[in-house]
Structure 1
Amino acid sequence: MDGWPGNGERWVRGIEGRYGGEERLELPWLEGKAQRGGGQQVQMDSSKWGFVGSQVELRCLFVNSNPPVKISQVTWQKFLNGTKQNVAIANPSLGVSVLPPFKDRVSFKQPAVRHRTPSLEDTTITFSNLRLSDEAAYICEYTTFPAGNRENMVNLTVLARPTTGMSLTAPTIVARPSNRKVTVATCLSANGKPPSMITWDTRLKGEASNQETRNANGTVTVRSNYLVVPSRSTHQQKLTCIVTYRNERITDSVILNVLYEPEVTVEGFDGNWFLNRQDVQLTCKADANPPVSVYQWKMLNGSMPNNVEIRNNTLIFKGPVTNELAGTYVCDATNSIGTRSGQVEVNIT
């Protein structure tokens, strides 16, 4: 009798989330591969996937019996959250119909299906310009006589390639005396499905702070901030962000530009300034970013000797060394971040 279970078949309550609890025909075959009854099979892939904007084929083949049954109609349906929605219908008498909102994106692959009197053994459909909302189960149902309905299902997963990028928190970072960790760079993987994983590669001794945001359309945005204590040692260090999306690795790098106060030393005294020695001088060396704009020299607890000429960061002592050159010389170096000092004690032997 048309529509009744064949040998080895039985009516069962559908699995929740697959057929929404409605009664369906359970078939003794590998689920998602083929379902058959009385010599007929509906062959499909168990799952397919594609990226947003891409094209995917959903295979559906009807293996007929011998002698064959008559195919009255083939219906493709989208099944989501317990609800079925017709996608495309092929009928030997009425031809082919693709329903909105699939009309411009779904077509039957085989030209024979698109004829007025179609051949319906292969009703594979082509899905173009995939959307996230296309993710669902798709049922291919054959209506036959006298065997009844035969169907199978494929699960379609739609993936979204993320937009990735890395940026510095600011073009320049200022080192402060507080030694507090601050965010220096951010790595972003936006609107991906499945979500990406973000890691960092650097010599810096910092830490990462990651955050995932699940968007309304099912995609995930992953943000990772890298925190470090800005200092002279972090200046010009390379920081690389690694975004891993499925089997892809996407890398991006930045070089940190850290502004810091001058680190000052005074060079030129070798411990052997003896009386009447000629051509001695002291030089103020400063490591600073930005460079030092002003150098200032002074004597600690005293005034500069008369025979000293100041040339920017250098003290030039004219004439022979005398006892009045002894003392502590201080150099103040200033840039836009601050002022730091260096000093040297000169002894005359």
Structure 2
Amino acid sequence: MNSLARSLLFWHMSVTSLYSTGKIGCNAQLTKKVSGVLKGDVTITCKYAESIQATTLPPKATREISIVRLAEQHNLQWLHYKHDHKDAQVIIDTSIVHRCPTPSRYSNSMGSLHTAQLHIRGLLVSDAGFYFCVTVNSKLQREPDASQLVIKAVSISETWFLTSPMEANKPTILLLNVIGFYPNKIEVDWQLAKKQLQGNPVLLANPHCDGTFNATSMIAFVPQADDHDKTVTCHITHESAKVSMTLRLQVLYAPLPLTVQPQEDFAKMEGDLLELRCISKSNPVAKMSWILNGKVLLAKTTTHLRIRVVNVSLSDQGNYSCSAENSLGTRTSSVAVNVIGLQPGATDEQTWLAAGISIGVVLLLIIVTSVAAYAFVRKRRLAGRQAEEPVYVAPSQPTADVYETLNVADSQKPSTQKVHDAIYANTEQIGKL
């Protein structure tokens, strides 16, 4: 006996032994709870249970029954229902021979002599439910055991914001789209700069053709100028995952009140340095200009504009206006500058010369006054000293010693005429000045 024949005999004896001592049935027995993912593949196994008892049959009959039952296993029906098995629908009938079978997502195979397997490709939401198998023309005697197929949650595949240009102080709507998730229960929370965004968000979930869902969350609010460049965050909560999306706001607004430095009117001396600054805040960036008495001095698209006037003159005084303009509006701020001029025809050298002469005259007056006071005090002191000193009387025939004494005394006396002449000369000099 060759090996092939030996294998067939062993297989036949195994079948005979199995079905002559066990149960051969028509109802499916629950094997397990099966989970699948949308668009994925899954296999469901069905095991035969309830049958007739065939242990008392002779060996020949046993072999015939075994072959018949084996043939019945190849003539199966797979049924699917959502809630009640009475409404089950046949999705596979192996007793029907298809010469040119059409492509199907369902296929059947034999796991062993007492089991069958259902293969489902490209799972859809509609595939969820309960599955069981029966042999063809069998009658169910009781509630069939079935394998439950559960579709797992599908994670979000894509999220994106839909925004339009926002203008300050005008109502706008923010939209968030969430694509490809299952089941349809989802939550979206809106926050602006980590604070709850004021408004009443609306959430709409719509089914997609592949069984997943798309959702749109929207919220209306009125942006302000200071909301520009702030971050809006959406926290998305779903059974499959938690996702956070951020959006940086782009808010258009007209120029805000300008900052001019110095802020108040002021004066400058002729020849000084004049410097003015102007700061603007807007979106888009404004075109800034410095204007003096209707004449544009400097213009530039910027946020900070400065002008400098070296050696300022009387022609530079007037009303300086700073203007900022963009597509949404214009803002203007002004400051008045007064220039104090020098005397006509006077130069810096002449000014310093005049100041020097004035200081010289004052010093001379101080000196003259001091000299006169000193002379007066000295005269009084000498007059008192003469009254106290002895009087020398010259003899009729004075000696040389006497003359010397008189000469000394005369030399110590101040000359009143000389003092008078000095004071008079100083007074004339002061008058000439």
Distance 1:342 1:161, change over 3 A: same
Deviates more, 1:215-224 or 1:54-63: 215-224
One-letter code aligned to 2:29: V
1:310 equivalent in structure 2: 297
Aligned counterpart, 1:230: 223
* Closer/same/farther in 2, CA of residues 101 and 257 from structure 1, 3 Å limit: farther
The match for 1:331 is 322
Match of 1:212 in 2: 204
Q: Does the 8 Å CA contact 1:280/1:317 hold for their aligned counterparts? A: yes
Aligned counterpart, 2:178: 189
Unpaired runs of 5+ residues, structure 1, are 1-35, 113-118
Considering only CA atoms, is the larger Rg found in Structure 1 or Structure 2? Answer: 2
After TM superposition, give the deviation of residue 210 of structure 1 in Å: 1.9
Deviation at 1:169, TM superposition (A): 1.9
Distance 2:121 2:248 in 1: 42
CA distance in 2, matches of 1:109, 1:278: 102
Structure 1 residues 214 and 269, CA gap change in structure 2 (3 angstroms): closer
In the other structure, the counterpart of 1:281 is 275
Find the aligned partners of 2:97 and 2:142 in 1 and give their Cα distance.
Answer: 19
Change over 3 Å in CA distance of 1:101–1:49 after alignment to 2: farther
Number of residue-to-residue matches in the alignment: 288
Residue 134 of structure 2 corresponds to 141
Report SS of the residue matched to 2:280. Answer: strand
Partner of 2:311: 319
Contact 2:166 2:172 in 1 (8 A): no
Q: Higher strand share goes to which structure?
A: 1
Q: 1:44 aligns with which of 17, 22, 31?
A: 31
SS of 2:116's equivalent? coil
* 1:78 and 2:83 aligned: no
The one-letter code matched in structure 2 to 1:151 is P
Unaligned runs of 5+ in 2: 1-22, 56-65, 300-304, 341-433
* 1:187 CA drift (Å): 0.9
Q: TM-score, normalised by structure 2?
A: 0.53
Over the matched positions of the two proteins, sequence identity in percent amounts to 18
Correspondent of 2:125 among 112, 126, 132: 132
**2:246 counterpart (243, 248, 253):** 253
Structure 2 Cα separation of the partners of residues 140 and 311 of structure 1: 89
| Higher RCO (CA 8 Å, separation ≥ 6 residues) | 1
The 1:297–1:52 alpha-carbon spacing in structure 2 relative to 1, beyond 3 Å, is same
- Is contact 1:163-1:190 (8 Å) kept? yes
Distance 2:140 2:242 in 1: 52
Write the mapping of 1:9-48 to structure 2, written as runs, cut at 5 A.
42-45=29-32, 47-48=33-34
Q: Which protein has the bigger helix share?
A: 2
Q: Secondary structure at the match of 2:115?
A: coil
User: Secondary structure at the residue paired with 2:126?
Assistant: helix
Q: Is the 8 A contact 1:142 1:150 kept in 2?
A: no
Q: Does residue 165 of structure 1 match 2:152?
A: no
The 1:309/1:220 distance shift into structure 2, 3 A limit, reads: closer
Partner of 1:108: 108
Instruction: Supply the RMSD in Å over aligned alpha carbons.
Output: 4.5
Residue aligned with 1:288, SS? coil
Counterpart Cα distance in 1 of 2:80 and 2:175: 40
Structure 1 position 57, deviation (Å): 2.2
Task: Report the CA distance between 1:106 and its aligned residue.
Answer: 2.2
Amino acid at match of 1:342: S
Question: How far apart, CA to CA, are the structure 1 residues paired with 2:137 and 2:104?
Answer: 28
Give the equivalent residue in structure 1 for 2:188. 198
Amino acid at match of 2:108: F
